[in-house]
Amino acid sequence: MTQTQTEQPIAPRRSMWPLYAAGFTTAFGAHGIAATLGSDTDDAVTSLLVLGGLLALYDGAEVVLKPLFGTLADRVGARPVLLGGLIAFAAASLLYVIADSPGWLWAARLGQGAAASAFSPAASALVARLNPAAKHGRAFGSYGFYKSIGYTLGPLLGGVLVWAGGLSLLFAVMAACAAAVAVWAVLAVPVVPPLPKSRQTVADLARRLTERTFLAPTAALAAATAALSVGVGFLPVSGAAAGLGTVATGAAVSVLAATAAFVQPKAGRALDAERLTTRTGLGAGLLITATGLAAAMVPGLAGVLTAAALIGCGTGLITPLGFAALAATTPPERLGQTMGSAELGRELGDAGGPLLVAAVATTATLAYGYAALALLLAIPAFTTLTARRRTAPTPQ
């Protein structure tokens, strides 16, 4: 642990709540709109191609911009980037409300994605800066919990709002939510000045981002996000193929998200209490997630629900441990850059997992798609867990 880390102040608990709310906002913004764009509302989505483009805008902006905004947070401070991102998110959402035109939906969606690219890594960096290393597990577990709540409630709240007043009402609520969180952050989140840092070359950055201390947790986070996206997107397909109704398949997705939300704080507390190590937790999380994907191959309600519970448990275990591991091995003055780059890895997993499963399912069946991703996760899981046993001291 560096001297800077040991000297960082412990922020009051009230300072963390706006950061948790920011995590909820970015998740609500991603899933609340994505789950409702396909509805026949305001003639905004006229074809599957248009739907795919609108969905890609948000994630595409995050892939490109998160590392850049993470680096900016290190340079000028995470708090200004957090506030600027939240204000920009509110403005982009309000743009569609005022314009009320299908053409402006593209600009609004792109603006939301760019804004989320700013305040999401900034919030993660502040979670790390405002808590001592011994409490990073609990802090990231709580942050992940509220983000999971956003993923869980986003489609439900989005559907209700669109039903009540169309996409304009949904965007208006998102604008109000982001603006309220920004005001809350101004009042409660303390100023965390940027730390002095030595000059970093491109080679230095590349070297740091290719070290195992960065690659291992980031790869685990990407794998967890890939499995989560596959579960949310394809478990309803498996349920429908087994003759299950929309209520049953929707309940399965809710089980997945709720389980992930429930597990994350517990995993973080176990890490802080040293009842769980990062290596063991990440390995076990990958193995549980892979088992959940394998369970999805079993037809019927039992297979769908078992898969949802196991995928939720595994991803809930991986997420806080992965971010805590990154925070523990990153110089405090580079936290924004690291969190932004790790978020890029998660976005790639978010896109890559469904693409892999879909590609395999196209040439074979959906069960083989689940199997392919399960195998991809099981290999590093066994490698991680067996490596721990090999390096453990031999009893005398």
Q: Using one digit for the tens of pLDDT, what is the confidence trace for 313-333?
A: 999 999 999 999 988 888 887
Average pLDDT over every residue of 152-177: 85
> In this structure, are residues 37 and 102 in contact, taking their beta carbons and an 8 Å threshold?
no
- Mean pLDDT throughout 65-76? 87
Mean of the per-residue pLDDT values for the chain?
Answer: 83
pLDDT band at 394, cuts 50/70/90?
very low
Position 395 confidence tier, pLDDT thresholds 50, 70, 90? very low
pLDDT digits (tens, 9 = 90+) for 218-274: 999 999 988 988 887 788 888 888 887 766 777 777 788 889 888 999 999 999 988
What is the share, in percent, of the chain residues with pLDDT greater than 70?
84
Q: Which residues neighbour 47 within 8 Å (Cβ) at sequence distance 6 or greater?
A: none
Question: Which position has the higher pLDDT, 305 or 10?
Answer: 305
What is the model's pLDDT at position 212? 82
Choose from 22-31, 314-323, 340-349 the range with maximum mean pLDDT.
314-323
Runs of H (alpha helix) within the chain: 3-7, 17-34, 48-76, 78-99, 102-129, 136-188, 202-209, 212-241, 246-272, 278-295, 301-329, 335-363, 366-391
181 or 10, greater pLDDT: 181
**What is the Cα–Cα distance from 94 to 89, expressed in whole angstroms?**
9
29 by Cβ neighbours in 10 Å (0-12 / 13-18 / 19+) ranks as: buried
Residue 3 binned pLDDT confidence (cut-offs 50, 70, 90): very low
Residue-wise pLDDT tens digits, 136-153: 888 898 898 888 888 777
Query: For residues 342 and 323, what is the distance between their CA atoms, to the nearest angstrom?
Result: 8
The owner of tokens 């070290």 is 211
| Dist CA 101 CA 300 (whole Å) | 43
Residue 305 predicted with pLDDT over 80: yes
pLDDT score of 172: 94
Tracing tokens 């991680």 back to the chain, one arrives at 384
Q: How confident is the model at residue 134 (pLDDT cuts 50, 70, 90)?
A: confident
